[in-house]
Chain A
Amino acid sequence: AQSVTQLGSHVSVSEGALVLLRCNYSSSVPPYLFWYVQYPNQGLQLLLKYTSAATLVKGINGFEAEFKKSETSFHLTKPSAHMSDAAEYFCAVNDPNTGNQFYFGTGTSLTVIP
């Protein structure tokens, strides 16, 4: 069974401050992990993914995430928040052996304060 838990349904940061969105996973097999962003009334856009290569993954728009097996975590960070980063962020996990479905967290809404 696979699942993810996103700690903090709402996060507020000042423009230019560090963004840290937390995700912990549970998986019976070595997982693939993903971060998606969703803007209002739009679908999900892939930010980055971990597929068992480098544990530090760089994505679009300056985001990165580090896979930590010992902590079962895959937290998303960005050194300096921009107003355009305000959105809903979802962490997801899937089984690389099947790839059939993703299991998403409940999401974290990021607000950027000017």
Chain B
Amino acid sequence: DTGVSQDPRHKITKRGQNVTFRCDPISEHNRLYWYRQTLGQGPEFLTYFQNEAQLEKSRLLSDRFSAERPKGSFSTLEIQRTEQGDSAMYLCASSLVRTTDTQYFGPGTRLTVL
């Protein structure tokens, strides 16, 4: 068990550019979650997958955001036409379906949009 990993850890981009983040969950975990954490706030739910199916999306996930988990393993979160308001820490978590009360979090990707 190597834990949840995220890449990159930091990303600085200019407004209007597209960015993509990757999350590798714990290998046997079939649920994967994305959260966004802005400065001084707790994490806010964005979306989650069960295997490769995206089962729920928050209203926070605007049409500029898209997430995929094509083979039910790693996931990517893409933000198109980034805005300064997208600057945040993006956290990934994973769990087993039978123990969704125990989500394991990755270290996060910190996005700064200039």
Contact = CB atoms under 8 A, between A and B. Distances in A.
B101 A101 contact: no
A90 B91 CA distance: 14
Contacts, number: 61
B38 to A, nearest CB: 10
A100 B48 contact: yes
Contacts of A46: 102-104
How extensive is the interface on chain B, given as a class? 20 to 34
A107 B39 CA distance: 11
Interface stretch (A12-20, A55-63, A75-83, A91-99): A91-99
B108 interface: yes
Interface of B: 4, 9, 33, 35, 40-45, 48, 55-56, 58, 91, 93, 95, 100-108, 110
